Amino acid sequence: LRPLPVIAALILLTGCSGVQSTLDPAGSEAIAVFQLLMTMVIGGTIIWFAVIGVTIYASRSRRQVWPISKAVRVIGWGGVAFPVVVLILLLSYAVWLMPSIRPWIPRQTSENERIEVTGEQFWWRIKYPDTDELPGFDTANELRLPVGQRTYFSLEAPDVIHSFWIPALGGKTDMIPGRTNVTSLQPTRIGVFRAPCAEFCGTSHALMAFSVVVMGQEDYAAWRNLRAQDAASTAQPGYRLFMRHGCSACHAIQGTEAKGRIGPDLTYFGHRQTVAAGTLTNTSANIAHFIKAPENIKPGAKMPAFGMLPDADVDAIAAYLWGLK
Question: What is the β-pairing status of strands 280-281 and 274-275?
Answer: antiparallel
Give contact residues for Cu ion (rule: CB under 5 A): 162, 197, 201, 208
Residues with Cβ within 8 Å of 164's Cβ and at least 6 positions away in sequence, in order, are 117, 119, 153, 155, 171, 172, 173, 174, 175, 183, 195, 198
CB atoms < 10 A from the CB of 23, how many? 15
Q: Is 264 in the site for ligand HEC (CB under 6 A)?
A: yes
Q: Which residues of 62-87 are buried (b: 16+ CB within 10 A; e: fewer)?
A: eeeeeeeeeeeeeeeeeeeeeeeeee
Could you tell me the smallest distance in angstroms from the CB atom of residue 176 to ligand HEC? 20
* Binding residue (CB under 6 A) for ligand HEC from 27, 115, 122, 215: 122
* Binding residue (CB under 6 A) for ligand HEC from 303, 316, 322, 324: 303
Say which entry of Cu ion, ligand HEC, none residue 302 contacts (CB below 5 to 8 A, set by partner kind). Answer: ligand HEC
Q: Is 141 in the site for ligand HEC (CB under 6 A)?
A: yes
Could you tell me the smallest distance in angstroms from the CB atom of residue 208 to Cu ion? 4
Q: Between residue 271 and residue 290, which ones bind ligand HEC under the rule CB under 6 A?
A: 275-277, 287, 290
Residues with Cβ within 8 Å of 23's Cβ and at least 6 positions away in sequence, in order, are 16, 17, 34
Report the alpha-carbon distance of residue 125 to residue 251 in Å, rounded: 12
Report the alpha-carbon distance of residue 176 to residue 77 in Å, rounded: 48
User: Residue 9: what are its φ and ψ, rounded to 5°?
Assistant: -65, -40
Say which entry of Cu ion, ligand HEC, none residue 301 contacts (CB below 5 to 8 A, set by partner kind). Answer: ligand HEC
Task: Pick between residue 73 and residue 325 the one whose CB is nearest to ligand HEC.
Answer: 325
Compute the Cα dihedral for 155, 157, 160, 162 and give only its sign.
negative
Indicate the DSSP class of residue 134: S
* Binding residue (CB under 6 A) for ligand HEC from 19, 36, 228, 250: 250
Indicate the DSSP class of residue 14: G
Q: Is 232 in the site for ligand HEC (CB under 6 A)?
A: no
Could you tell me the smallest distance in angstroms from the CB atom of residue 309 to Cu ion? 29
Could you tell me the smallest distance in angstroms from the CB atom of residue 285 to ligand HEC? 12
144 with 227: CB under 8 angstroms?
A: no
Indicate the DSSP class of residue 248: G
* Binding residue (CB under 6 A) for ligand HEC from 33, 215, 301, 316: 301
Binding span for ligand HEC by CB under 6 A among 69-77, 160-168, 227-235, 245-253: 245-253
Q: Is 302 in the site for ligand HEC (CB under 6 A)?
A: yes
Task: Pick between residue 100 and residue 284 the one whose CB is nearest to ligand HEC.
Answer: 284
Task: Pick between residue 123 and residue 137 the one whose CB is nearest to ligand HEC.
Answer: 123
Which H or E element spans position 119?
strand 115-120
Q: 51: exposed, middle or buried (C-beta count within 10 Å: 0-12, 13-18, 19+)?
A: exposed
x/- contact string, 63-102, with ligand HEC (CB under 6 A)?
Answer: ----------------------------------------
Q: Is 245 in the site for ligand HEC (CB under 6 A)?
A: yes
Contacts to ligand HEC by CB under 6 A? 122-123, 140-141, 242, 245-247, 249-251, 262-264, 275-277, 287, 290-291, 298, 301-304, 306, 317, 321
